[in-house]
Amino acid sequence: VQSPGRLQAILGEPTPFDGLDARQLRRRRSYKWSAYPPDVLPAFVAEMDLPLSPAVTATLSAAVAAGDAGYAREDLLPMAFAGFARRRWSWEVDPDCAVLMPDTMSGVARAIEILTVSGDGVVFTPPVYGPFARTIERLGRKPIEAPMGYAAGRWQLDLEAIDAALAAGARAVLLCNPHNPTGAIPTAAELQALVDLAAHHGAWIVSDEVHGPLALPGQQFTPLLKLGPSRAITIFSASKAWNVPGLKCALAIGGDAATSRALNALANELRHPSHLGVLAATAAFDGVAGGDGWLDQVTRHLAVQHERARALLGELMPLIRPARADAGYLLWLDCRALNLGDAPATAFLERGRVALSPGLEFGTQGAGFARLNLGTSGPLLLEAVSRMQAALATSG
């Protein structure tokens, strides 16, 4: 049995986000903090517990104070995003090619609709964000699996499987860059190989890059469109990195002018974001009032959280094998050695009162896995991992 002092020591130096108050968080009415009874610690859905950035808070507060809750204007956010892309990724985006969307997934859905027709195969890379397969299917396209590979401790795209699926007639690839739930960032070389093989087969790439701004310090995120493919649409949003998914706003960017025109031609009701979402995203991407500094602070904290999670799991549950994430606040846990069956998250919830995302939400490849959300404070991460261990202790 590990002493509490030893576990506290694993947390190490406090970060600026370690002082979160669970009682205050429980007053949030968003899904994460209201889906379960109060004795359950939520560590599932991709919302962070961190406060909003000062720039986003000031912008939203001013809007509310001014009764500024009307319809969005469309020109400022693409310019703010283009500035962010240049500063952060040395990527030149033409603001005229960026089309506002209500959220990331509606951008993904509209892209698939524009680029493919009913019955077309769309390749995706499970285990992956669950709505991908459901959206492909709901649109009348055929979801085709090219499961992620796992080699030398790293999850990666299986380019051969994608090549085979495209050779067999699939018309598009739905990429998750960075990848949820594994946290993997494809290298520029892997992305280039994907671009080349899509071009070879005359196929399209739809790239969901919502986790891109959350590349951990020292990790290089490459926006797909920086490589210059024309047959592509990329979707970005401030929703994950600035923790504003409830504000409903994203950007879809076409790889060439014709593709962007097709996005622009969508009916208004399919693509209008919320005004508050546009204001918040513009403040976030603008980098004013400490915007990029805030993002740096967040990613530094997340890097510490990943290190803490590895150390705590190694100490308390060494049979669990965590993925090595390059980005984000989600940790993909291989729990198969625990012998808890296909859904270890059920045991953690029922016996430990901590809610992780069940691995099966990400496809059949997730059997025996669970996803832990570490977008919280060190003490709350310690609490989550301790509850997981308590579940094992009572597993008989």
Ligand X SMILES: Cc1ncc(COP(=O)(O)O)c(C=O)c1O
Binding of ligand X at residue 208 (CB under 6 A)?
A: yes
Beta carbon of residue 350, minimum distance to ligand X (angstroms, whole number): 24
Cβ neighbors of 10 (< 8 A, separation 6 or more) are 308, 311, 312, 315, 382
Closer to ligand X by Cβ: residue 46 or 170: 46
Q: Convert residues 167-186 into a mask of x (bound to ligand X by CB under 6 A) and - (unbound).
A: ---------x---x------
Q: Which range, of 100-108, 114-122, 333-341, 358-366, touches ligand X by CB under 6 A?
A: 100-108
Q: Are 156 and 184 in contact (CB under 8 A)?
A: yes
Q: What is the CA radius of gyration of the chain?
A: 21
List the one residue from 15, 59, 104, 207 that touches ligand X (CB under 6 A).
104
Binding of ligand X at residue 103 (CB under 6 A)?
A: yes
Closer to ligand X by Cβ: residue 129 or 369: 129
Q: Convert residues 55-94 into a mask of x (bound to ligand X by CB under 6 A) and - (unbound).
A: ----------------------------------------
How many residues lie near ligand X (CB under 6 A)?
A: 13
Closer to ligand X by Cβ: residue 178 or 229: 178
Beta carbon of residue 176, minimum distance to ligand X (angstroms, whole number): 5
Q: What is the DSSP string of 5-47?
A: HHHHHHH-SPPTTTT--HHHHTT--SHHHHSS-TTSEE--SS-
Distance CA 85, CA 17 (A): 26
Closer to ligand X by Cβ: residue 177 or 305: 177
What is the number of other CB atoms lying within 10 angstroms of the CB of residue 130? 18
What is the number of other CB atoms lying within 10 angstroms of the CB of residue 342? 15
Binding of ligand X at residue 245 (CB under 6 A)?
A: yes
What is the number of other CB atoms lying within 10 angstroms of the CB of residue 23? 7
Return the HEC string of 251-309. Answer: EEEECCHHHHHHHHCCCHHHHCCCHHHHHHHHHHHHCHHHHHHHHHHHHHHHHHHHHHH
Nearest to 197 by CA among 176, 179, 173: 173
What is the number of other CB atoms lying within 10 angstroms of the CB of residue 38? 11
What is the number of other CB atoms lying within 10 angstroms of the CB of residue 50? 20
Closer to ligand X by Cβ: residue 204 or 329: 329
Closer to ligand X by Cβ: residue 46 or 295: 46
Among positions 27-56, residues that touch ligand X (CB under 6 A) are 46
Closer to ligand X by Cβ: residue 184 or 340: 184
Binding of ligand X at residue 376 (CB under 6 A)?
A: no
Beta carbon of residue 132, minimum distance to ligand X (angstroms, whole number): 8
How many angstroms from the chain centroid is the CA of residue 204? 21
Please report, as a single letter, which amino acid is at residue 227: L
Q: Which range, of 3-11, 51-59, 221-229, 237-245, touches ligand X by CB under 6 A?
A: 237-245
Strand 330-334 to 321-322 pairing: antiparallel
Q: Which range, of 98-106, 115-123, 147-155, 291-299, touches ligand X by CB under 6 A?
A: 98-106
Beta carbon of residue 386, minimum distance to ligand X (angstroms, whole number): 25
Closer to ligand X by Cβ: residue 182 or 259: 182
Closer to ligand X by Cβ: residue 127 or 368: 127
How many angstroms from the chain centroid is the CA of residue 296? 17
Q: Which range, of 103-111, 133-141, 265-273, 295-303, touches ligand X by CB under 6 A?
A: 103-111
User: Rounded to the nearest 5 degrees, what angle is found at the Cα of 242, between the Cα atoms of 239 and 247?
Assistant: 45
Q: How far apart are the first and last CA of the chain?
A: 17
Closer to ligand X by Cβ: residue 210 or 323: 210
Binding of ligand X at residue 277 (CB under 6 A)?
A: no
Closer to ligand X by Cβ: residue 128 or 313: 128
Binding of ligand X at residue 135 (CB under 6 A)?
A: no
List the one residue from 239, 274, 373, 376 that touches ligand X (CB under 6 A).
239
3-state helix, strand, coil in the chain (%, to 5): 45, 15, 40
Residues comprising the chain, all counted: 396
Binding of ligand X at residue 250 (CB under 6 A)?
A: yes
List the one residue from 105, 165, 313, 320 that touches ligand X (CB under 6 A).
105
State the residues that interact with ligand X by CB under 6 A.
Answer: 46, 103-105, 129, 176, 180, 208, 210, 237, 239, 245, 250
